[in-house]
Structure 1
Amino acid sequence: MAATPETVHWRGVHHLALITSDMDATVRFWHGVLDARLVATLAVPAFKHYFFEIGAGSTIAFFEYTDQELDSFAKPAGVPYAKAAQFDHLSLHLPDEDALVRMRDRLKAHGCEVTDVIDHGFLRSIYFSDPNGIALEASWWALDATGRPADHTDERLFADPDPVPAVRELRDTGRLAHTVSTRLVDGVIEDLRREGITLDR
């Protein structure tokens, strides 16, 4: 499938919404330890929703639900866990190796466990967790794959020796043979119906 002439003008992640059972501890970690400024808050009777800046226009946001018991778990990055079927970890972008080392040292100074710098080839990372048990990573591009045309034959960046069919299509023809469709989850459909909105399915 050919790309359309009117490309999508991405500007990064507006916000990634996560869940906390302790917003106070979350503010103290994200704003205080990670220096991700708390830039906005909102609250309704059902929840608080706080936003932490991680770059121009980009935030990590947390929900704290009112009077709602939630199961919690903690898992390290890259380790499968049945309860985390759709989310593994979040990596925050840093500009260079010095910034990565400074973040590692900052975490240690606040008594947080953190790995040493791991060299993944085209990126380098450290790994740690937030007070909610969310697996976090901070990374910088040793070989920046973004902001330039992708070369799907460049083995420094496309290192899977047996890529999925879609990647083979991109490598061989520069385009996808087809895309996939998705559906809204049933809860969204039910919410829309309550508002008198119906969708063709």
Structure 2
Amino acid sequence: MAATPDTMHWRGVHHLALVTPDMDATVRFWHGVLDARLVTTLATPDFRHYFFEVAPGNTIAFFEFTGKDLDTYAKPAGVPYEKASQFDHLSLYLPDEAALERMRDRLKAHDCEVTDVIDHGFLRSIYFSDPNGIALEASWWTIDPTGRPVDYSDPQLFADPDPVPAVVELRENGVLDHTVQTVLVDSIIEDIRRSA
């Protein structure tokens, strides 16, 4: 069943824009180690913006801002950090276990630290970081929930014993009772939940 009567036909993530203080190291890791082809670059006096292909039509992009000394940090995936409240980690999709093991071996061959394969039930993953400290994951679906009808009562895929009200609505009615409103901002707001 479609999420709405007028279904959007998403084709993946066009690009996820991240920030790097060192574009050269970023190219060397993303293109050289991860084998995500550098497919386009652009630059202005204020920034560089480079794009790496992770699937047809899907890219990971980085900004390198000119003359800006930005705070950086590194954190493991799934560990909360007050300065990273809107981004935790990026998981890249691989087709199967063999590809996951090849990526793990490739990372090790390039002297990059990486976990063993972690079994999460419906997916298996490895975890590592890029040279910017961005927490990364490579995963494959052992049970692919995409491209097929959703069964919100499937305990393998919907295992939260106390789901949020929106999931209860979807499970019971197949639709949401309501959505939420958002607003545009014209400057940086430090904590949107407290300033509303």
Q: TM-score range by the shorter chain?
A: over 0.9
Distance in 2 between the 1:124 and 1:184 partners?
37
Give the letter for the 2:85 counterpart: A
Counterpart of 2:32 in structure 1 is 32
Residues 167-186 of structure 1 aligned to structure 2 (within 5 Å): 167-186=167-186
Counterpart of 1:134 in structure 2 is 134
Give the letter for the 1:79 counterpart: V
Give the letter for the 1:152 counterpart: Y
Q: What percent of counterpart residues are identical?
A: 78
Counterpart of 1:42 in structure 2 is 42
Count of residues in Structure 1 that have an aligned counterpart in Structure 2: 187
Counterpart of 2:156 in structure 1 is 156
Distance in 2 between the 1:42 and 1:81 partners?
31
Give the letter for the 2:171 counterpart: R
Distance in 1 between the 2:3 and 2:32 partners?
43
Counterpart of 1:19 in structure 2 is 19
Deviation at 1:130, TM superposition (A): 0.1
TM-score between both structures, scaled by the size of structure 1: 0.91
Counterpart of 2:73 in structure 1 is 73
Distance in 2 between the 1:55 and 1:119 partners?
23
Counterpart of 2:113 in structure 1 is 113
* Runs of 4 or more above 6 Å deviation: none
Deviation string 1:47-91 (CA, Å, 9 cap, x unpaired) is 000000000000000000001010000000000001101000000
Distance in 2 between the 1:137 and 1:83 partners?
20
Distance in 2 between the 1:13 and 1:4 partners?
20
Deviation at 1:147, TM superposition (A): 0.4
Unaligned runs of 5+ in 2: 189-196
Counterpart of 1:98 in structure 2 is 98
Distance in 2 between the 1:42 and 1:12 partners?
22
Unaligned runs of 5+ in 1: 189-201
TM-score between both structures, scaled by the size of structure 2: 0.93
